[in-house]
């Protein structure tokens, strides 16, 4: 890592700490430079304003989310195993203390700024990835989802309603066993609605 990249990393880490402690409105570029142990000029050389710096942190979060979802669809996996694997693409983020800390800080600001929330949502592609997975599984006859986009929202909602939001509000990071149980139960509920066997049974009745 070059000296410039190292200083940029120090600035981002210092900014995250500053925004968490003071919020966006109370955060100071002067204090960020002090926390990062770099000059104020160095901070502005990398980030021309507090808003640019905050949005760069948002992009870091979006990149983590999108990177976690770079998994290929495996047509040879049983559908339940494939859905569990997909659920863990989200679950791995929730047991990551750095991710949860960053998400907590950004969520507090998106509540304040709807435009920022919309911008953040536009950077994240996970719903698209989940919807494409469900659409492909439906075409292969493994799922029965009339609207894959809605089904994707429901699948993510099952996981996040128990694994993400309660822990964000409680400022805690769940352990792997806890998240694993939530993912397994969410997959079973999802298959009860969209699994081909359950659809065939309902039709017969």
- What are the pLDDT digits (tens) for 121-162? 666 557 888 999 999 999 999 999 999 999 999 999 999 999
Closest by CA to 68, choosing from 141, 131, 15, 130, is 130
Q: Is the same domain home to 33 and 82?
A: no
Q: Is residue 12 a contact partner of residue 64, using CB atoms and an 8 Å limit? A: no
Residues 23 and 73 reside in one and the same domain: no
- Band of the pLDDT at 4, cuts 50, 70, 90? confident
**Predicted pLDDT at 129:** 85
156 part of a folded domain: yes
CA count, 13 A, side-chain hemisphere, 31: 13
66 and 42, same structural domain? no
Domain count, the chain: 2
Q: How far is CA 30 from the centre of its chain?
A: 30
| Residue pointed to by tokens 């070059």 | 2
Are residues 92 and 19 part of one domain? no
Nearest to 94 by CA among 21, 31, 173: 173
- Flag whether 38 is in a domain: yes
Q: How far is the C-alpha of 9 from the C-alpha of 178, rounded, in Å? A: 32
Q: What is the pLDDT of residue 35?
A: 92
pLDDT of residue 33: 93
Please write down the long-range contacts of 20-25, taking CB distance under 8 Å and 24 or more positions apart. 20/101, 20/104, 20/105, 23/108, 23/109, 23/112, 24/50, 24/54, 24/109, 24/112, 24/113, 25/112
CATH number of residue 192's parent domain: 1.10.357.10
- The pLDDT value given to residue 152: 94
Q: Are 88 and 159 contained in the same domain?
A: yes
Q: Are residues 92 and 68 in contact, defined by beta-carbon separation less than 8 angstroms?
A: yes
- Domain shared by 102 and 177, yes or no: yes
Q: Whole domain around residue 6: which residue ranges?
A: 1-48
- Considering the domain architecture, whether residues 10 and 85 belong to the same structural domain is answered as no
Structure confidence at residue 71 (pLDDT): 73
Query: Cβ atoms within 10 A of the Cβ of 11, count?
Result: 25
Q: In 3-state terms, what secondary structure has residue 75?
A: coil
Mean confidence (pLDDT) of the chain: 84
Asked whether residue 35 falls in the same domain as residue 109, the answer is: no
Instruction: Tell me the per-residue pLDDT of 98-128, one tens digit each, with 9 for 90 and over.
Output: 788 778 877 777 777 777 666 666 665 578 8
Same domain, 28 and 73: no
Residue 69 C-beta-side C-alpha neighbours within 13 Å: 19
Residue-level pLDDT at 113: 72
Together in a domain, 37 and 112: no
Q: How many CB atoms lie within 10 A of CB 62?
A: 19
Q: Residue 55: inside a domain, yes or no?
A: no
In this structure, of 32-41, 73-82, 85-94, 191-200, the range with the lowest mean pLDDT score is 191-200
d(CA 67, CA 49): 27
**Which CA distances in Å does 3 have to 7, 22, 42, 183?**
6, 28, 12, 42
In a domain, 54, yes or no: no
- Provide the 8-state DSSP code for 77: S
**What CATH number corresponds to the domain at position 17?**
1.10.10.60
Instruction: Say if residue 64 is in the same domain as residue 29.
Output: no
């Amino acid at each position: 890592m070059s000296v410039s990249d190292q200083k940029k990393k120090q600035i981002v880490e210092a900014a995250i700490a500053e925004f968490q402690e003071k919020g966006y409105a109370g955060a100071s570029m002067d204090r960020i430079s002090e926390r990062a142990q770099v000059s104020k000029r160095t901070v502005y050389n990398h980030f021309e304003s507090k808003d640019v710096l905050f949005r760069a942190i948002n992009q870091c979060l979006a990149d983590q989310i999108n990177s976690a979802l770079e998994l290929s669809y495996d047509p040879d996996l049983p559908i339940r195993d494939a859905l569990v694997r997909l659920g863990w693409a989200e679950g791995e983020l929730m047991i990551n203390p750095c991710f949860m800390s960053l998400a907590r800080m950004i969520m507090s600001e998106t509540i304040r700024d709807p435009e920022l929330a919309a911008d953040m949502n536009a950077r994240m592609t996970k719903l698209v990835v989940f919807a494409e997975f469900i659409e492909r599984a439906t075409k292969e006859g493994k799922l029965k989802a009339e609207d894959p986009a809605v089904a994707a929202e429901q699948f993510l909602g099952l996981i996040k309603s128990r694994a993400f939001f309660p822990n964000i509000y409680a400022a805690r990071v769940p352990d792997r066993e806890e998240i694993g149980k939530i993912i397994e139960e969410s997959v079973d509920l999802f298959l009860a609605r969209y699994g081909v066997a359950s659809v065939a049974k309902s039709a017969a009745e």
